């Protein structure tokens, strides 16, 4: 009789985990931090999908979730031979830029900062954007220590721009006006 593998390995009990191709590493290793940040982004996109009815937008978010796994694969394969694992490519970045450009034609660029919020879907898309920005900061930090694919950094940067445009689109579709911040207690000049 073979012994069934369990979900818990007990390796984490000592603050360690396995990292693809590198064996045991500390759970606060920058690569693990990058995986965690990408997992958070993918999870919030999953939650956001619960509040999106537009099929075109749902399809775009679904594709992004798959791309985020490819980005994780890219991070995992940093130390491996080229081509050992899937990587983020210029085509991923270009695809996002085309989507952004389509929304830009329709919405333009706001002349002022806008507050996150409005509709439920827009609010969640803004939350996605903010979490993507955090993931981007983690990847940039990792880049200072490891050989991160430059296209991965470009992709995550464009992804936050896309979420901004999608959030604006979600509000626009329901006629919700963008709110600008009100700056109180400014020094008089």
SS3 26: strand
Angle between helices 55-76 and 90-107 (to 10 degrees): 150
Question: What is the pLDDT tens value at each position of the chain, 189 positions in all?
Answer: 567 777 776 666 776 666 665 676 666 778 888 989 999 999 999 999 999 999 999 999 999 999 999 999 888 876 656 666 778 899 999 999 999 999 999 998 888 898 899 999 999 999 999 999 999 999 999 999 988 999 999 999 999 999 999 999 999 999 989 888 888 876 776
Model pLDDT, residue 74: 86
pLDDT at 144: 93
* Long-range contacts of the stretch 141-145 (C-beta < 8 A, 24+): 141/30, 141/33, 142/30, 142/31, 142/33, 142/34, 142/75, 145/30
Between strands 23-26 and 16-19, the pairing is antiparallel
Q: Closest by alpha carbon to 160, among 112, 94, 96?
A: 96
> Would you call 51 helix, strand, or coil by DSSP?
coil
Domain segments of the chain as ranges? 12-173
Q: What pLDDT score was predicted for residue 147? A: 87
Domain at 12-173, CATH class:
mainly alpha
pTM score, whole prediction: 0.86
The whole-number pLDDT of residue 22 equals: 62
Q: What is the pLDDT of residue 5?
A: 72
Among all chains, which residue has been given the structure tokens 């200072």? Answer: 144
């Amino acid at each position: 009789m073979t012994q069934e593998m369990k979900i818990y390995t007990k390796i984490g009990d000592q603050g360690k985990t396995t990292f693809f191709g590198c064996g045991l590493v500390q759970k606060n290793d920058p690569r693990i931090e990058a995986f965690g940040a990408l997992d958070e982004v993918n999870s919030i996109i999953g939650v956001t999908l619960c509040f999106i009815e537009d099929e075109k937008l749902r399809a775009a978010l679904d594709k992004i979730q798959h791309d985020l796994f490819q980005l994780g694969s890219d991070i995992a394969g940093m130390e491996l031979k080229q081509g050992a694992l899937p990587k983020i490519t210029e085509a991923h970045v270009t695809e996002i830029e085309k989507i952004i450009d389509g929304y830009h034609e329709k919405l333009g660029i706001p002349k002022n900062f806008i507050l996150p919020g409005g509709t439920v879907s827009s609010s969640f898309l803004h939350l996605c954007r903010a979490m993507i920005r955090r993931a981007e900061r983690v990847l940039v930090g990792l880049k200072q220590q490891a050989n991160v694919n430059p296209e991965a950094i470009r992709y995550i940067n464009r992804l936050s721009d896309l979420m901004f445009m999608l959030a604006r689109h979600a509000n626009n579709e329901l006629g919700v006006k963008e709110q600008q911040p009100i700056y109180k207690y400014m020094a008089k000049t």
